[in-house]
Amino acid sequence: MIPPFKIKSVEPIRLLPKSERIKRIKRAGYNIFKLRASSIFIDLLTDSGTGAMSQEQWSAMMKGDESYAGSESFFRFEKAVKEVLGFPFVVPCHQGRGAERVFDRVMIKAGQAVPGNTHFDTTKAHIEYRKGKAVDCTISEAFDPETDHPFKGNVDLKKLEFSLKNDDVAYVLLTCTCNSIGGQPVSMANIKAVSRLARKYKKPLFMDGARFAENAFFIKKREKGYEKKSVKTIVKEMTSHFDGMLMSAKKDAIVNIGGFIAVRDKGLYEKLSQMAILFEGFPTYGGLSGRDMEAIAQGLYEGIDEDYLEYRTSQVKYLAEKLELFGIPVLKPVGGHAVYVNGKEFFDHIPQWQFPSQTLAVELYVEGGIRAVEIGTLLAGRDPETGENIYPELDLLRLTIPRRVYTKEHLDYVAECLKKVWERRESVKGLKLIHEPKVLRHFQARFERAEDVNFEKKLRKK
């Protein structure tokens, strides 16, 4: 598809010599998060806050009202949330994890469970920080990388009802789309069914809606009966089944920073706004400048534009199809914001305790200066009770496409570099952890090259 925009401003990028890339990744402890941005040629680490804002967003920022209380920018932001998402009350936060911190402080008591589809890293970490338990109720098809199920983000209703019956549930959370299992969407039918179950057991239902627009677009494309409905209409139908949503606006509102909690219940809003004052800021700015709120307000409307969504998802699909032509194993079906390479299959000689997908991230940087991110064993962390590594069924490398940033030529280059790594894959050795933070270890962990596949077993014996 032809891009539904033209480029007005450009940012230069530079490819370092391979010898220099090898030095820099080693100095970074083989952790792509520790590389300086100036070391990167093409950055596919995340689509969070890395999209290109439009001329309308930059223009709106000039109207930013920086008043501490009662900012006019807040009321324009509040209006956009109401019109696009349908929630009457909104608490602005500095980003998604700020929203999670405020929300879980109010909602979760020690020992309570939060069932839903696969929780993302910060979501799970915030639940566990409050001494809660994240319960994964995703359908089994989600964990088969070859199954072409159109809605792998769906919840298994039997698993969910088991949790609702047997756990002390704080709330139910649906992540739309579901990042940790490949950016997979949740169907409208499943949203409705989950909502009915939550009502049956008198538990509130919330959406992690960072990519709500992409989820709505997939419903339009894949779910019977929605082909002729607009994304705007589908979004409103989706949100009508939720008591509220948490959002990192850095994704589908296409801004560099920002997030919010939107709810229907005034009493809950008042509790959340009081907690937000403590952790984020006054309820009419919540850790954001007036400029940021203006950009989010405009971005919410742009995020549901169907030409933009068609182009964005086509870009992701194009890269996936190119990789498949080279024989590279890719998670199916393709999601909306990233291509997920099956790192466990790519390096089938590297055991999971030597982090095959993290190894692939390192090799892709060495090969072409490209930064991608592991969504696998490293991110999964350790079991809080046993202290053992969690070995997820899906061990993936995420090639995340920033919004309105890269061209077809950039994606062709990414595919060619992955092809070169694929062709020399048997000679690649895994990684061993030498430094491991206790919380969200993937951000700051350090590694060495693993010379011996039995390294971890030997370490345990000692």
> Is the pLDDT confidence value at 346 over 70?
yes
| pTM, entire model | 0.92
* Residues 289, 300: Cα–Cα separation, whole Å: 17
Give the pLDDT confidence score for residue 455 in this predicted structure: 44
Within a domain: 45: no
150 and 195 in a single domain? The answer is: yes
Within a domain: 331: yes
> Is the pLDDT confidence value at 142 over 80?
yes
- pLDDT band with cut points at 50, 70 and 90 for residue 204: very high
Domain end, chosen from 278, 303, 328, is at 303
Average pLDDT of the segment spanning 125-151: 95
28 and 166 in a single domain? The answer is: no
105 and 221 in a single domain? The answer is: yes
As beta bridge partners, residue 259 has 93, 248
Within a domain: 7: no
- pLDDT band with cut points at 50, 70 and 90 for residue 263: very high
As beta bridge partners, residue 173 has 116, 206
243 and 318 in a single domain? The answer is: no
Q: Which residues are catalytic?
A: 68, 120-121, 208, 210, 251, 442
Report the half-sphere exposure of 90 (CA within 13 A, side-chain side).
28
Average pLDDT of the segment spanning 324-328: 97
Domain end, chosen from 271, 288, 303, is at 303
Within a domain: 183: yes
Domain end, chosen from 276, 303, 330, is at 303
312 and 296 in a single domain? The answer is: no
Q: If we measure between CA atoms, which residue out of 394, 411, 460 comes closest to residue 432?
A: 460
Return the residue matching tokens 């005034």. 266
Within a domain: 2: no
110 and 168 in a single domain? The answer is: yes
Give the pLDDT confidence score for residue 438 in this predicted structure: 87
> Is the pLDDT confidence value at 136 over 70?
yes
296 and 313 in a single domain? The answer is: no
Average pLDDT of the segment spanning 335-362: 96
> Is the pLDDT confidence value at 454 over 60?
no
Tens of pLDDT, residue by residue over 78-103, are 999 999 999 999 999 999 999 999 99
240 and 178 in a single domain? The answer is: yes
Tens of pLDDT, residue by residue over 392-430, are 999 999 999 999 999 999 999 999 999 999 999 999 999
The answer to whether 372 touches 330, Cβ cutoff 8 Å, is no
> Is the pLDDT confidence value at 315 over 50?
yes
User: What does the chain come to in residues?
Assistant: 462
Give the pLDDT confidence score for residue 385 in this predicted structure: 83
Q: What total of structural domains would you count in the chain?
A: 2
Give the pLDDT confidence score for residue 462 in this predicted structure: 38
Tens of pLDDT, residue by residue over 146-163, are 999 999 999 999 999 999
236 and 321 in a single domain? The answer is: no
Q: If we measure between CA atoms, which residue out of 127, 199, 108 comes closest to residue 161?
A: 199
The answer to whether 332 touches 145, Cβ cutoff 8 Å, is yes
Within a domain: 12: no
Burial label for 117, CB within 10 Å (0-12, 13-18, 19+), is: buried
Give the pLDDT confidence score for residue 180 in this predicted structure: 87
Domain holding 158: CATH number?
A: 3.40.640.10
197 and 322 in a single domain? The answer is: no
> Is the pLDDT confidence value at 23 over 60?
yes
Backbone torsion region of residue 355, taken as left when φ is above 0, otherwise alpha when ψ lies between -120 and 50, otherwise beta: left
289 and 381 in a single domain? The answer is: no
Domain that holds residue 88: 55-303
Within a domain: 50: no
248 and 331 in a single domain? The answer is: no
Average pLDDT of the segment spanning 427-455: 86
Return the residue matching tokens 């405020």. 102
- pLDDT band with cut points at 50, 70 and 90 for residue 460: very low
Neighbours of 3 (CB within 10 A): 15
> Is the pLDDT confidence value at 452 over 80?
no
As beta bridge partners, residue 92 has 260
Give the pLDDT confidence score for residue 82 in this predicted structure: 98
Mean pLDDT for the chain overall: 95
Tens of pLDDT, residue by residue over 29-65, are 999 999 999 999 999 999 999 999 999 999 999 999 9
Q: If we measure between CA atoms, which residue out of 94, 103, 96 comes closest to residue 122?
A: 96
Beta-sheet pairing, 244-248 with 205-208: parallel
* Residues 349, 453: Cα–Cα separation, whole Å: 9
Within a domain: 13: no
Give the pLDDT confidence score for residue 235 in this predicted structure: 98
Give the pLDDT confidence score for residue 461 in this predicted structure: 44
